[in-house]
């Protein structure tokens, strides 16, 4: 899957959410891990901005992503930090050792197509996560797919261009048609496009995958905040904290 359109714009769209998310992760590590957390895996690191914040907080980071475009930016954002960046798919990744915490942010797990791919990824996380360590992730919900995304179109206007984000929601997936209109120096625009697809994973599917792969579900939240409410029928996202069982 290409991220040539969205990668350069990703931080501009999501940047304000990075610090609160990094704070949430650290709070989840402290509250729910039963072992000290020092080494952390970022599963689907994107532009690496959250990894950089955790590295600045003193953690040793391994950050992986399957997108070369995203990793190019992650290298710049983690320059001078103790972050190991690797280009791997979350469904088949390999590490040199274990970690005490794993996280996957900004609905990365929604890019897994099936329950089998989800369980395979959970199994790999279990393999490299030490007993008592935590796995934190978020997913988009059925409500967000069907109501917020639906057949809607969103636009993001920047000084150097315009991003048009069209949604096509199905029963258990949503296609995103992204068109970037870059403003040239002569006032004309250059258009580039890409298509992405996310897939719905229900709470039942997530809980069953967690149970089968050796995790306990410690918390399910509606915001990156341990004090937030539990899920409801109008939750746009759900944030899970799992702990690896002995």
Both tokens of 28, joined, read 């989840």
Q: Are residues 147 and 204 located together in one domain of the fold?
A: no
Q: Which pLDDT belongs to residue 3?
A: 85
Give the domain CATH number at 57: 3.40.50.150
Digit-coded pLDDT (tens) for 154-199? 999 999 999 999 999 999 999 999 999 999 999 899 999 999 999 9
Please determine, for residue 200, whether its predicted confidence score (pLDDT) is greater than 70: yes
The rounded distance, in Å, linking the Cα atoms of 62 and 39 is 8
Please determine, for residue 230, whether its predicted confidence score (pLDDT) is greater than 80: yes
Both tokens of 152, joined, read 């809607």
Q: Are residues 127 and 57 located together in one domain of the fold?
A: yes
Q: Are residues 84 and 17 located together in one domain of the fold?
A: yes
H helices of 33-141, in order, are: 49-56, 68-77, 115-128
Please determine, for residue 1, whether its predicted confidence score (pLDDT) is greater than 80: no
In the chain, the percentage of residues whose pLDDT exceeds 90 is 96
Q: Which pLDDT belongs to residue 30?
A: 98
User: Do residues 145 and 174 touch, judged by C-beta distance below 8 A?
Assistant: yes
In a domain, 18, yes or no: yes
Residue the block writes with tokens 């149970």: 211
DSSP-assigned beta bridge partners for residue 156: 163
Q: Are residues 167 and 216 located together in one domain of the fold?
A: no
Q: Are residues 76 and 42 located together in one domain of the fold?
A: yes
Q: Are residues 110 and 48 located together in one domain of the fold?
A: yes
Which domain covers residue 148, as residue numbers?
143-199
In the chain, the percentage of residues whose pLDDT exceeds 70 is 99
For 34-63, letters b (16+ CB in 10 Å) and e give eeebebbbbbbbbbbbbbbbbbeeebbbbb
Both tokens of 113, joined, read 């197509």
Residue 125: partners with Cβ closer than 8 Å, 6 or more residues away: 41, 43, 102, 135, 213
Query: What does pTM read for this prediction?
Result: 0.96
Q: Are residues 181 and 210 located together in one domain of the fold?
A: no
Please determine, for residue 2, whether its predicted confidence score (pLDDT) is greater than 80: no
Q: Are residues 41 and 81 located together in one domain of the fold?
A: yes
Mean pLDDT for the chain? 97
Give the domain CATH number at 180: 2.20.25.110
Q: Are residues 67 and 136 located together in one domain of the fold?
A: yes
Please determine, for residue 59, whether its predicted confidence score (pLDDT) is greater than 70: yes
Q: Are residues 76 and 131 located together in one domain of the fold?
A: yes
In a domain, 2, yes or no: no
Q: How many separate domains does the chain show?
A: 2
For 127-159, letters b (16+ CB in 10 Å) and e give ebbbebbbbbbbbbbbbbbeebbeeeeeeeeee
Digit-coded pLDDT (tens) for 19-51? 999 999 999 999 999 999 999 999 999 999 999
Report phi then psi at 46, rounded to 5: 60, -130
């Amino acid at each position: 899957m290409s991220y040539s359109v969205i990668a350069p714009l990703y931080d501009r769209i999501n940047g304000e959410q990075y610090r609160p998310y990094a704070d949430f992760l650290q709070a989840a590590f402290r509250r729910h891990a039963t072992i000290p957390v020092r080494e952390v895996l970022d599963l689907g690191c994107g532009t690496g901005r959250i990894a950089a914040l955790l590295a600045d907080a003193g953690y040793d980071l391994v950050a992986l992503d399957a997108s070369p475009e995203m990793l190019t930016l992650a290298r710049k954002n983690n320059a001078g930090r103790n972050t190991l960046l690797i280009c791997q798919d979350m469904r088949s990744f390999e590490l040199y050792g274990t970690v005490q915490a794993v996280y996957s942010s900004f609905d990365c797990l929604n890019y897994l197509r099936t329950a089998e791919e989800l369980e395979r990824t959970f199994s790999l996380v279990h393999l490299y996560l030490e007993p008592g360590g935590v796995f934190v992730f978020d997913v988009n919900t059925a409500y967000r797919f069907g109501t917020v995304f639906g057949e809607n179109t969103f636009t993001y206007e920047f000084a150097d261009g315009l991003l048009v984000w069209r949604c096509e929601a199905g029963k258990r997936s949503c296609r995103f048609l992204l068109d970037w209109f870059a403003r040239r120096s002569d006032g004309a625009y250059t258009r580039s496009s890409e298509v992405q697809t996310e897939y719905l994973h229900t709470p039942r599917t997530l809980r069953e995958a967690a149970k089968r792969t050796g995790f306990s579900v410690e918390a399910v939240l509606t915001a990156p905040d341990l004090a937030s409410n539990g899920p409801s029928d109008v939750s746009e996202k759900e944030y899970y904290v799992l702990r690896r069982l002995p």
